[in-house]
């Protein structure tokens, strides 16, 4: 742009120099030419400035929403959950595993058909999705066009990482596994990507949980939570427990892995979380509830309701508005997470 303006300026200078040879009687003519060229340059600069501003605004507009739940089945509550998720018209759908609870998942594929336009439906694999034989596992891989059960993708300024934590013996996730190397390398590369402002991991098994049927898995805590801290993961979405839970932002505790460090004790609004991830358990898709026998000190909210999580990515991609809706449409929990976009 500077070169272009310089060339225009040189052209104007050349014209004015040539006009200097014109007789004084033509003074008014020279003034007219000068004003004409000056006006042309001014209009050009104003239009260029407006065009640049408009490009910056359009590149920052990244508003979209995605919905999340796990542990569905093919019953009436699962249908209600799917219908309610569909009513939010999401750009992405994330299912957290234990999808059909059947060897033949056709009934569940029928349920979700209204949400499958395009490539917006994403899954993680639950125990019941891989332990019923290779045919069932293969059906899910083929249906969702997956070559591996762990993967990642970008949507606007958000990076999503899908973990496969159903069974370590069937799909290894320990520190020597292919999956671990994939996730570690993926997070390293994403941390260098200036177009990404948020990193969201989703998994089946729970990293942390209140006292209920399935405790948080120490192998996941020890293997992955320090990676999440190091590469600034923002949210972790998990299923397996048939209830809803939301934690404070949690950082890995090296000395007591089962007692994570709560890094921010706010309960409804977070701005520029310096360290730690918020863990959401959303095993509320339709399966029968798992009751609580207590509440962990790092859990802000816990509920026994069927429903789903809706996340709006707003304010030019700098804010997450997270709400848990039950299947009657009532908001049962909500939190706002915002950050300054240092990458832009």
pLDDT digits (tens, 9 = 90+) for 207-239: 999 999 888 788 899 999 999 999 999 999 999
pLDDT digits (tens, 9 = 90+) for 54-91: 222 234 547 999 999 999 999 999 999 999 999 999 99
Share of the chain above pLDDT 90, in %: 74
Quote the CA–CA distance of 24 and 140 in Å, as a whole number: 87
The confidence score (pLDDT) of residue 107 equals 96
Q: How confident is the model at residue 134 (pLDDT cuts 50, 70, 90)?
A: confident
DSSP codes of every residue in 199-257: EEEE-SS-SS--SSSSPPPHHHIIIIIHHHHHTT--EEEE-SSSSEEEEPPEE--SS-T
pLDDT digits (tens, 9 = 90+) for 246-269: 999 999 999 988 899 999 999 999
In this predicted structure, the answer to whether residue 52 has a pLDDT above a threshold of 50 is: no
What is the model's pTM?
0.82
Domain residue extents for the chain:
2-57, 64-338
Q: How far is CA 108 from CA 17, 84, 126, 284, in A?
A: 79, 16, 14, 15
Using CA of residue 16, residue 21, residue 26, residue 27, what is the dihedral sign? positive
- DSSP state, residue 151: E
pLDDT digits (tens, 9 = 90+) for 158-187: 999 999 999 899 999 999 999 999 999 999
In this predicted structure, the answer to whether residue 102 has a pLDDT above a threshold of 70 is: yes
Closest of 316, 255, 254, 307 to residue 280, by C-alpha: 307
The confidence score (pLDDT) of residue 131 equals 78
Q: How confident is the model at residue 19 (pLDDT cuts 50, 70, 90)?
A: very low
The confidence score (pLDDT) of residue 261 equals 96
Which class does domain 64-338 fall in?
alpha beta
Closest of 56, 32, 140 to residue 95, by C-alpha: 140
């Amino acid at each position: 742009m500077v070169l272009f303006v310089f060339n225009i300026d040189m052209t104007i200078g050349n014209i004015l120099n040539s006009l200097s040879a014109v007789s004084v009687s033509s003074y008014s003519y020279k003034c007219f030419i000068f004003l004409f060229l000056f006006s042309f340059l001014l209009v050009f600069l104003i239009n260029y400035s407006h065009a640049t501003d408009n490009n910056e605004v359009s590149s920052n507009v990244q508003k979209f929403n995605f919905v999340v739940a796990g542990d569905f089945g093919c019953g009436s509550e699962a249908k209600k959950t799917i219908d309610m998720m569909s009513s939010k018209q999401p750009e992405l759908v994330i299912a957290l595993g234990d999808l059909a609870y059947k060897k033949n998942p056709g009934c569940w594929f029928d349920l979700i058909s209204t949400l499958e336009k395009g490539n917006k439906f994403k899954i993680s694999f639950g125990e019941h999705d891989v332990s019923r034989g290779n045919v069932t596992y293969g059906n899910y891989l083929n249906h969702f066009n997956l070559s591996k059960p762990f993967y990642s993708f970008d949507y606007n300024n958000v990076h999503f990482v899908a973990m496969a934590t159903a069974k370590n013996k069937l799909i290894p996730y320990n520190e020597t596994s292919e999956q671990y190397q994939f996730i570690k390398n993926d997070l390293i590369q994403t941390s260098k990507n200036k177009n990404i402002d948020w990193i969201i991991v989703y998994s089946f098994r729970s990293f942390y949980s209140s006292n209920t049927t399935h405790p948080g898995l120490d192998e996941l805590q020890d293997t992955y939570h320090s990676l999440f801290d190091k590469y600034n993961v923002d949210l972790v979405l998990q299923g397996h427990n048939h209830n809803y839970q939301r934690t404070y932002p949690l950082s890995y505790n090296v000395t007591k892995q089962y007692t994570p460090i709560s890094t921010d004790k706010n309960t409804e609004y977070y701005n520029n979380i310096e360290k730690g991830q918020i863990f959401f358990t959303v095993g509320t898709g339709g399966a029968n509830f798992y009751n609580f026998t207590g509440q962990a000190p790092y859990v802000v909210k816990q509920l026994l309701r069927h429903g789903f999580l809706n996340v709006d990515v707003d304010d030019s991609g700098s804010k997450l508005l997270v709400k848990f809706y039950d299947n009657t449409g009532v908001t049962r929990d909500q939190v706002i997470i915002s950050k300054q976009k240092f990458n832009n």
